[in-house]
Copies of this chain bind each other. A is one copy, B any other.
């Protein structure tokens, strides 16, 4: 029996209806007539993560408080979902997470507990706090309800764009692509599902090649949303069956794609969120046909964006 099925994503779509945004699909003549960008940067909390978090919290017993560990976007997503559901959220975040993400998470009313992501294990800290405080742990990706929530991205995209030949999805722990692949292979099996990882954190590409989960060093990449060092157990179970291919992109290619999206589409996309466009512009996505690309998030501060782009100009 599969970890999740289309019906789980459809149930998630009903739960998030009227709460999450149905994000727009953008076009760019420069990228190509057949390219469709699903703009999750315009999702609530600025990233797709809100879909899964809300789906999870809406499935818990009423009044159940939650805890989450996250490099940022999942944190904000759980914090807002908790506020909307009327429960308390404790968030375990790396001490070096982007300041904008820490501030935003606090802004949603969550309590923040920080840790050192180079020496401490967030899973252990999360599990300990959950046990001590009697909280429900909301995992960032390795949970069927989270995966199903993220899959609503593909449900909306297929609903809006007919006859897609490929969908391109950034990969970290693998929850977004697992949900999307479940939808795509059920509704349009001929559509290829292509993941994109930072070259410094290609654990899913290696794992698919090895046929089992492979752990890499904690990736040192500007794509702070793609920092998982190994695929999730449940997500990999889905992705090993349904993902056709995973390609990689370098940090400078992510910055180029961010600047392109800024200049031509007037949209703000964080490094992780630009991975699909970077892969396309670098020729790593099969040319031709109709391609959907998930712009997974837009949480990069104006100052940080300025640094990244200025660095590119000097190079």
Contact = CB atoms under 8 A, between A and B. Distances in A.
Contact of A303 (B302, B307, B313): B313
Contacts of A46: 266
A266 B302 contact: no
A313 B42 CA distance: 25
Chain A contact residues: helix, strand, loop or mixed: helix
Contacts of A313: 303, 306
A298 interface: yes
Contact of A268 (B266, B303, B309): B266
Contact of A24 (B24, B262, B298, B309): B24
Contacts of A210: none
A97 to B, nearest CB: 16
B309 A262 contact: no
A266, A302, A313 pick with most chain B CB within 10 angstroms = A266
Given A266-B269, A303-B310, 6 more contacts: A46-B266, A259-B302, A303-B309, A303-B313, A305-B305, A306-B306
Given A24-B24, A310-B310, A266 B303 contact: no
A199 to B, nearest CB: 23
A20 interface: no
B302 A263 contact: yes
Which 9 pairs from chain A and chain B are nearest by CB? A266-B298, A306-B306, A266-B268, A259-B302, A262-B302, A306-B309, A41-B266, A306-B310, A302-B309
A302 B267 CA distance: 11
A305 B305 CA distance: 9
Contact of A262 (B42, B259, B305, B310): B305
Interface in A36-80: 41-42, 46
Nearest to A39: B266
Contacts of A298: 266
A166 B269 CA distance: 31
Contacts of A187: none
Interface in A174-233: none
A100 interface: yes
